[in-house]
Amino acid sequence: MLSRSRCLTRNLGRSLSVIRQGNKVFSRQATAALSTSHGVIYNKSLNSQPRSSVFQIQYFRTSAAYRDDVVTVKTPAFAESVTEGDVRWEKAVGDTVTEDEVVCEIETDKTSVQVPSPAAGVIEELLVPDGGKVEGGTPLFKLRKGAGAPKAAEAPKVEAPPTASPPPPPSPTSPPPSIVGPIPTTMPPVPPVPAHAMAAKPVSAIKPTPAPAAPVAQTEGVVKGARTESRVKMNRMRLRIAQRLKEAQNTCAMLTTFNEVDMSNISEMRKSYKDAFLKKHNIKLGFMSAFVKAAAYALSDQPAVNAVIDDTTKEIVYRDYVDISVAVATPKGLVVPVIRNVEGMNFADIEKAINLLGEKARKNELAVEDMDGGTFTISNGGVFGSMFGTPIINPPQSAILGMHGIFDRPVAIGGKVEIRPMMYVALTYDHRLIDGREAVTFLRKIKSVVEDPRVLLLDM
């Protein structure tokens, strides 16, 4: 409120000095300002003005606030005796344009000709449909001159303050993290499949994913203290995801077991070999491959975790192949690109497969098959800084591994306290199929492989 009145008095001061100068144009616009602002402040000040100015004001108060010319813009003459062309609209009815801004292009005889606006204003009407034929001189569009949005350099911007609710920001930027949780809204449309830690998130985190950014941005635009609500209908996709998640929760007996992994060995291995790896295989060596391989190894060892219950036939389906889905968040929802037959791959193969999926996604070759199926899922909440959490199973699988953030923690090693980079891992599993002992053994196996990859060689 304070800032508003300050602005108004400033404008008032300006308009008063302008009135004193007696310039007709300015005073008309200043009067416009006066007439659209709150009356109280001005009345007092007006009385203190010299009489001539008061007369001027009284005279102009009755006139319209803005100049209201509507011009019809015609098709310019074509070059080189060409007679007709097709119109392609760049702007639409209601768009504000500046002087010289391109409103449409006319294509004639393989030439694209720009048609600029003769003045600043708002497009009132398009007289030819998009793609329609015109000749030189044909009326093209109607432009209402004058400021559609506060753009006139002379008149102070008094249109803004008097309005009770300021318009929403022209370009809603991504909402602050406090509202929508750790989901980067600047996620590229292609599921990013980098060689190292995947930009994935646990399925449980889907729920707070923002609906279209618009409603959240609207809450940004509203003045603080205005307690409005906005309702957005849930789209079918979201309804479906919600339905499936609840179904999964209702059928599976889900529970989670945790463990922690000492990442020092694997970090050290990565540091020692990353340059040589890059040189030989031409891709980067990341942490994901270690976990994928560890999971594949553990799954081969504990086939129940790789199996699934078929509720319709009441059978347990055991699979001898291991397809690992890596959960990736995209603007359109969770996608789970699958790495097939991981049981036979080594770290380099896994990194290549992950890289290939990324390449396919970039080249728009990712098919529906590539994003579905899978016997086990790994999700990485650590990218967002999560420390600890319970992932939710992605039906129709039986288990999911959640990776969290790597943080330096004091741990007891050989009776002494040491600082080690530690990661908490979580395994959510279907207790109908996998019992506690199997789940814990499974997770411990993953831990032992990641903590010491030599375990793979020795088949321990």
Partner 1 sequence: FRKTHLSGFFSAGIHSKLTKDGSLIFQSKSTDIHQNLALEDWIETNVDLTNRRLFLLWRSHAAVVIGRHQNPWAECDLGAMWRAGVPLARRRSGGGTVYHDMGNLNLTFFSCRKLYDRQRNLKVVTEALRRARPELDVRATERLDIVLNGKYKISGSASRLSRKASYHHCTLLHSADGSALQSVLRPSTPGIHSNATPSVVSSVTNLTDHAPSLTWEELTQALSNLSYAPYFGLSSPLSLLDPSDESLFPGIGCMASELRSWDWTFGKTPKFTIETELSLSDDLTLEHTTAQLHIELKNGLISSIVITVQDQWLQQTLINELCDVLTGERFCPHRVAAAVSTLIKSEQDETQRRLHKLSNTVISVMG
d(CA 325, CA 339): 6
Residues 173-232 that bind partner 1 (CB under 8 A): 189-191
Minimal distance in Å, beta carbon 330 to partner 1? 6
> Is the peptide bond between 396 and the residue preceding it cis, with omega within 30 degrees of 0?
yes
Helix (H, G, I), strand (E, B) or coil at 49: coil
Q: Give the dihedral sign, CA 214/215/220/223.
A: positive
Amino acid identity for residue 341 in this structure: N
Which of 240, 271, 280, 431 is in the footprint of partner 1 by CB under 8 A? 240
Which of 99, 100, 408, 418 is in the footprint of partner 1 by CB under 8 A? 100
The number of residues that bind partner 1 (CB under 8 A) is 44
Give yes or no for a contact between 93 and 121, defined as CB atoms under 8 angstroms apart. no
Which of 35, 46, 54, 105 is in the footprint of partner 1 by CB under 8 A? 105
d(CA 440, CA 451): 16
Which neighbouring-strand residues pair with 338?
A: 325
- Please tell me whether residue 301 binds partner 1 under the rule CB under 8 A: no
431 as an active site residue: the answer is yes
- DSSP assigned state of 234: P
Which of 9, 72, 111, 230 is in the footprint of partner 1 by CB under 8 A? 111
404 as an active site residue: the answer is no
- Please tell me whether residue 135 binds partner 1 under the rule CB under 8 A: no
Minimal distance in Å, beta carbon 448 to partner 1? 33
Catalytic member of 38, 100, 435, 459: 435
Which of 7, 46, 65, 113 is in the footprint of partner 1 by CB under 8 A? 113
Catalytic member of 69, 370, 431, 459: 431
- Please tell me whether residue 116 binds partner 1 under the rule CB under 8 A: yes
DSSP H/E element including 259: strand 254-262
d(CA 225, CA 307): 54
Angle (nearest 5°) at CA 382 between 174 and 342: 115
* Closest among 219, 210, 201, 244 to 335, alpha carbons compared: 201
User: Closer CB to partner 1, residue 248 or residue 304?
Assistant: 248
Cβ–Cβ contacts within 10 Å for residue 174, how many? 14
* Closest among 157, 153, 128 to 142, alpha carbons compared: 128
Site string for partner 1, 50-89 (x = CB under 8 A): -----------------------------xx-----x-x-
User: Of the listed pieces 150-158, 278-286, 325-333, 383-391, which binds partner 1 according to CB under 8 A?
Assistant: 325-333
Minimal distance in Å, beta carbon 192 to partner 1? 13
DSSP H/E element including 400: strand 399-413
d(CA 117, CA 130): 17
d(CA 158, CA 190): 45
Minimal distance in Å, beta carbon 204 to partner 1? 16
Minimal distance in Å, beta carbon 444 to partner 1? 31
Which of 19, 34, 205, 241 is in the footprint of partner 1 by CB under 8 A? 241
Which of 151, 157, 196, 244 is in the footprint of partner 1 by CB under 8 A? 244
- Please tell me whether residue 249 binds partner 1 under the rule CB under 8 A: no
DSSP assignment of 328-370 equals EEETTEEE--EE--GGG--HHHHHHHHHHHHHHHHTT---TGG
User: Closer CB to partner 1, residue 92 or residue 226?
Assistant: 92
Chain positions contacting partner 1, by CB under 8 A: 79-80, 86, 88, 100, 105, 107-114, 116, 130-131, 189-191, 235-237, 240-241, 243-244, 312, 330, 332-335, 361, 363-368, 370-372, 395
- Residues marked active site are found at 431, 435
